[in-house]
Amino acid sequence: MADTSSARSQRIVILGGGFGGVYAALRLQRLARWRRDLDLTLIARDNFFLFTPMLPQAATSSIDTQHIVVSLRRVLPRVRVFDAEIESIDLSGHTVTIVHGDGAVHAVGWDQLIIAVGGETNYFNLPGVAENALTIRTLADAFVLRNRAIDMLERAELEDDPEVRRRLLTFAVAGAGFAGIETAAEMDLFVRTAAKLYRTVKPSDVTTIVVDLQTRILPELSEALATWTQTTLEKRGVQFRLGVGVKSADANGVTLTDGTRIETQMFVWAGGVSANPLIAGLPISNERGRVPVDEYLAVPGYPGVWCVGDSAVVMPPGGGRPYPPTAQHALREGLHVAGNVMAAIDRKPLRPFAYTSVGQMAHLGEHQAVAMLGGLKISGFPAWWLWRTYYLFRIPTLERKIRVAIDWTLDLIFSRDTVQVKLPRGKSG
């Protein structure tokens, strides 16, 4: 073995604390365990990893919010973790400029750079949507969504005007993909159940409406499963406005493209993801603000630069449509790019990336779900059991697995918590 103790360490910097970045760091940590010639750094805007598939359940008290996050330093003990915002990336100078919450600016040098910063919420420049809509992408979103839903019930309890009460108890969700459908299903169940605790609010007073420009929900699944899902949710009272999009939004409602209006003070936007502005401004991005990569997940023309996840355009072998920007693909890309980074450092052959999705699943609450595994279509309780089993094994650390399993067990026995946590203005802790 060559003596590398006197050589400068190879600096591997990973940008992003989502599925792509964290799983790349996990594998690099394992591969570099006995080596002293590698320096691993992860830069993320939070000091935790958020398990986003369970976010709608955390927002509605089925799972404790803290149980779907894992400390990055706990799972990455051999990786330096910087909790900071990425201000700029200098590809030619091999540096990343970061800013911590106190405003202090730092420069981090790199020899190998893995970009996995993900995307941003896409509001499509619709008037008033960004200012008035809630989202369901971050841990803070889950707190806000839950507090707003409970606040609507509290205000409705005090309200005598029937029109105002109807607006307070109407919940609109834009987007009929996985995030929108799971959020609408969980939120409708949570609010209707919580309404039983109030004297003047009945579960039948609650209205949940899903809006989407497409004419069917869950386009990633088969039409049969999508129809089953819509029928199941309609039986619970969820309404669908399909084939019509959002035109604008304000503090008291949403105007649709057909001229109709939904009076609501709780509007959730799950309508899409756009490119990260940080990446869109780099010379390696395409016209859509994403980074095309080769079959090894490397950025052509920029040795040492790699990209995975929502920010990357990853083509399957033989061409066709790019891999979708899902957590499932980002995870696999992160694991794969770690192996190729190590191979590049050691001057070994790189391995092309290829991945066949194991399937898609959507959780609908009340022991119901839908799943498509290859050509196998599953709905109802079996899909619900499959969803829980798969994601329970996917969440990092044994401790979190046990905590989530306990939460699910308690959820079967006790009612969900409806305590509203109000933070003083200016307080974030």
User: Which residues are catalytically annotated?
Assistant: 182
Token pair for residue 85? 């915002």
- The closest of 233, 243, 219 to 183, measured between CA atoms, is 233
In angstroms, the CA 326 to CA 337 distance is 16
- The closest of 24, 214, 181 to 114, measured between CA atoms, is 24
Q: Is residue 136 a contact partner of residue 179, using CB atoms and an 8 Å limit?
A: yes
In angstroms, the CA 372 to CA 361 distance is 6
Using the CB atoms, write b or e for 297-320: b if 16+ within 10 Å.
Answer: bbbeebebbbbbbbbbebbeeeee
In angstroms, the CA 429 to CA 143 distance is 12
**How far are the Cα atoms of 177, 209, 245, 404, 411 from residue 51, in angstroms, in the given order?**
18, 26, 29, 11, 19
What's the DSSP call for residue 291? E
Helix, strand, coil share of the chain (percent; to 5): 35, 25, 40
Q: Is residue 204 a contact partner of residue 385, using CB atoms and an 8 Å limit?
A: no
* Residue recorded with tokens 């072998």: 317
**How far are the Cα atoms of 136, 355, 421 from residue 428, in angstroms, in the given order?**
18, 40, 12
* SS3 assignment, position 356: coil
State the CB neighbour count (10 A cutoff) for residue 47. 15
In angstroms, the CA 144 to CA 146 distance is 6
Phi, psi of 263 (to 5 degrees): -80, 115
Token pair for residue 43? 């830069």
Phi, psi of 196 (to 5 degrees): -65, -20
Amino acid in position 33 = R
* SS3 assignment, position 274: strand
State the CB neighbour count (10 A cutoff) for residue 227. 14
- The closest of 224, 218, 194, 215 to 206, measured between CA atoms, is 194
List alpha helices for 237-351, DSSP H.
277-280, 327-345
